[in-house]
Amino acid sequence: MMSKEFLGELFDQSTKNDYSIRFRDLRVTDVVLRQRLTSIIDEILAHGPILMGPRVEKFESRIAEYCGRRYGVGVSSGTDALYLALRAYNLGDGDEIVTTPMSWIATLSAILMTGAKPIFVDVREDQNIDPDKLTAAITENTKAIVPVHFTGRLCDMDMICDIARHYNLLVIEDAAQAMGAQSGQDKAGSFGDAAVFSLNPMKVFPGYGEAGAIVIDDPKIHEKLHTLRYLGTQRKEICTEIALNYKMDEIQAALLLTGFDLIDKIIDRRLEMARHYSKRLTDIITCAPVSTTEDRSSNYFDYVIFSDDRDKLRAHLDNRGIETKVKHPVLLCDHPGFLFKPRPEIPVADSLVKRMISLPLHDKMSFSDIDYVCDAIGEFQYCG
């Protein structure tokens, strides 16, 4: 079991509030957008409905259309979205689900809550699950693959889906961080049998509280998801299976609808910022390669660099007023609440998790802010 001292070392080092460059800035500072949001809330409060009305239905249609899917289902969080997607496909006791050790604990918790057994496969240098290692992890009990588009970068979905088809496995994308990322014309959420999104305020497509969504093509799964999100009921009255309450409310859906007018501009801006980071850092430290303007395979939910002196570099940046994060410092198989034995062989993930740092990236930043961060990293690298 991890000691309290060891756990403390894994937590973010800083607690101060006077950063000149924050890691995230979730304020709504656009006056026009804020007025639009408050008027939406006022309209709903004045006229209703409050729960599960036409705005939720419109949001579901919009997110399905955006992802190139037939159906969308709005739910109460991204974690709930993944759990419900797994439940809808009857995954549970005795089933094995192949996934990555590098994700937020929501991915693992959703799998475990169904009763299924997670099987961890190592990652590539891009932090996403390595398709070349999938086949060795598949057994007669394997029923699904849950790839996670970590940091907003798409997994190699062509190869993953080819393997899944060969072994007759489900693919359920954990696209929690990847809204809007795309390969060619195919967006995150369009590849697997189902895909799930987290839409909380930290995401690139931000909600204004907790929210999530599932996108699918199968009408039977769509119908079952409607049952599962509302206490396992049909027509809101007849309970056909045990479930809890995972509904999305009208206010959240209405506020989320504004995001479809903004998402592409948000991603374009993030890509510009990421390219600026990469151009400045590529000869200084291990980072994402400089991408072309046509490359939208990541929405850069996080911009990640790698350093063998991570703690010292973070302390240096902290002293320069730059807030950074390590996301996430503990691999899924190593959390004391889970602890899998025998521990999987995941050497790439073990190496990356010791070196990765997420840098500030948000819409309140300027290019001069990025230059300041890069200059501080360069100062550390060259001067120590």
Biggest CA pair distance of the chain: 69
- C-beta separation of 263 from 199 below 8 A: no
What whole-number distance in Å separates Cα of residue 42 and Cα of residue 81? 28
Q: Does 171 lie in the same domain as 37?
A: yes
Q: Does 68 lie in the same domain as 22?
A: no
Q: Does 116 lie in the same domain as 69?
A: yes
How much is the CA Rg of the chain, to the nearest whole Å? Answer: 21
Residue 190 structure tokens: 């369009």
Confidence band (pLDDT; 50, 70, 90) for 52?
Answer: confident
φ, ψ (nearest 5 deg) of residue 144: -155, 160
Residue for token pair 């967006």: 187
Q: Does 190 lie in the same domain as 162?
A: yes
Q: Does 21 lie in the same domain as 61?
A: no
Residue 227 structure tokens: 């049952």
- Domain's final residue, options 206, 236, 259: 259
* Amino acid type, 351: S
- Domain's final residue, options 213, 235, 259: 259
pLDDT digits (tens, 9 = 90+) for 130-168: 999 999 999 999 999 999 999 999 999 999 999 999 999
Confidence band (pLDDT; 50, 70, 90) for 7?
Answer: low
Q: How far is CA 82 from CA 99, 163, 196, 240, 340, in A?
A: 13, 21, 6, 21, 21
Q: Does 361 lie in the same domain as 215?
A: no
Residue 124 lies in domain: 31-259
Q: Does 19 lie in the same domain as 47?
A: no
pLDDT digits (tens, 9 = 90+) for 93-139: 999 999 999 999 999 999 999 999 999 999 999 999 999 999 999 99
The number of domains in the chain is: 2
Whether 85 shows a pLDDT value over 80: the answer reads: yes
- Domain's final residue, options 214, 234, 259: 259
Task: Kindly report the pTM of this predicted structure.
Answer: 0.94
